[in-house]
């Protein structure tokens, strides 16, 4: 583990280079139990006692706790991954549009930034966490107004690090169905794409 990198871990800058490789590479290992979350937490705690670090939630430890939060939220809630009979989920009247959903899932929306993200997801099984936020927002409250349940299913199929509770919790959060209510805070599929990839290298 690179101590200096761990100590300075924070919100990564959104650049075309950052979009091409995992920030830590740890999420699939945590997902499949190859890396113990408890062991990782205590190793980080030991390291943080020795070196100066950023405070949660920007630290790696804070990111791990965010994961565990969704695990706890899903406990004793068998309907955590759906709207129906889910006491944590706001019952938003989403539209139903199979054609729009298919175009989103296959990277054919006509928005280069969104489509590039979905193509990367299909080809590599991984996308940057901010890219996940962007396509989730686009599918739900940002543009298409389709149910987060549909996006969750696509992520569950394609992501190498897909995790039931984290996936469902993140989709509820990003669609403002739970855990977050600032529905007006959205990722513009044009402006944000230009900011993240001004030269167009990523979308090409």
Residue 32 among known ligand-binding residues:
no
Cis peptide before 57 (omega within 30 of 0): yes
Angle between helices 164-174 and 129-137 (to 10 degrees): 50
Asked if residue 155 is part of any domain, the answer here is yes
According to the model, what pLDDT value does residue 2 have? 61
Asked if residue 36 and residue 103 are part of one domain, the reply reads: no
Residues of the chain with pLDDT under 70: 1-18, 20-24, 52-58
20 labelled as ligand-binding?
A: no
Please tell me whether residues 68 and 138 are part of one structural domain. Answer: no
Looking at residue 143, what is its pLDDT?
96
How far is C-alpha 160 from the chain's CA centre?
Answer: 12
User: Does the annotation flag 40 for ligand binding?
Assistant: no
pLDDT of residue 57: 46
Q: Is 182 contained in some domain?
A: yes
Task: Indicate the number of domains in the chain.
Answer: 2
Residues 8 and 43 in one domain: yes
Q: For residue range 47-73, list pLDDT tens digits in order.
A: 888 876 555 545 788 889 999 999 999
- Report the CATH number that the domain containing residue 63 is assigned in CATH: 1.25.40.80
Quote the domain boundaries for residue 174: 98-196
Same structural domain, 55 and 109: no
Task: Supply the pLDDT for residue 13.
Answer: 58
**Is 123 found in the same domain as 67?**
no
Q: Is 70 annotated as a binding residue?
A: yes
- Neighbour tally for 190: CB within 10 Å: 11
* pLDDT value of residue 60: 81
d(CA 152, CA 67): 16
At residue 122, the 3 state secondary structure works out as helix
Supply the pLDDT for residue 11.
55
57 and 108 inside one domain = no
Asked whether residue 163 is marked as a ligand-binding residue, the answer is: yes
């Amino acid at each position: 583990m690179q101590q200096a990198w761990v100590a300075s871990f924070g919100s990564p800058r959104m650049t075309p280079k950052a979009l091409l490789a995992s920030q830590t590479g740890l999420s699939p290992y945590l997902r499949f139990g190859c890396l113990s979350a408890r062991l990782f937490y205590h190793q980080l705690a030991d390291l943080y006692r020795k070196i100066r670090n950023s405070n949660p939630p920007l630290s790696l430890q804070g990111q791990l706790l965010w994961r565990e939060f969704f695990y706890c939220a899903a406990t004793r809630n068998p309907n955590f991954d759906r709207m129906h009979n889910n006491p944590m989920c706001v019952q938003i009247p989403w539209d139903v549009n199979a054609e729009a959903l298919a175009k989103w899932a296959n990277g054919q929306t006509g928005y280069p930034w969104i489509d590039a993200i979905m193509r990367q997801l299909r080809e590599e099984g991984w996308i940057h966490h901010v890219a996940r936020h962007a396509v989730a927002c686009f599918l739900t409250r940002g543009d298409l107004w389709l149910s987060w349940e549909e996006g969750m299913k696509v992520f569950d199929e394609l992501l190498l690090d897909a995790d039931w509770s984290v996936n469902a919790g993140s989709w509820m959060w990003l669609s403002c169905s739970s855990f977050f209510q600032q529905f007006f805070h959205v990722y513009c599929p044009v402006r944000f794409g230009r900011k993240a990839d001004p030269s167009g290298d990523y979308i090409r």
